[in-house]
Amino acid sequence: MQISGFVFYFFQFYFWVVIVRIFLTWIPSIDWSSPFFNALAIVSDVFLNPFRKIIPPMGGLDFSPIIALMVLQFIQVALVKMLLMLGL
């Protein structure tokens, strides 16, 4: 597998990690101190927290994950295209 393929699948995996984290926040009974959920929160919040600081919730709704996912997809496309142009 080329580097571009690895980068593509890495970003896809991370995208779904963030999606799962977002949906799990809607379930109030989740114990975020359990090892699995805590690891999920740590891995996804590294990317989400800067967007949460820039974009405050409006009317009780947090739109920062939508912007974060769009930025993640933009970075993925740009990086993979660049790697493909380099033949990697």
What is the domain partition of the chain in residue ranges? 3-85
Mean pLDDT for 11-18 is 96
Residue 56, pLDDT score? 85
CA of residue 38 relative to chain centroid, distance: 15
Segment holding 62, helix H or strand E:
none
Tell me the pLDDT tens digit for each residue of 29-70: 999 999 999 999 999 999 999 999 998 888 888 899 999 999
pTM, full prediction: 0.86
On the question of pLDDT at 88 being above 90, the answer is: no
Which secondary-structure segment (H or E) carries 44? Answer: helix 35-54
The Cα diameter of the chain in Å comes to 48
Q: Is the dihedral of CA 53, 56, 60, 62 positive or negative?
A: negative
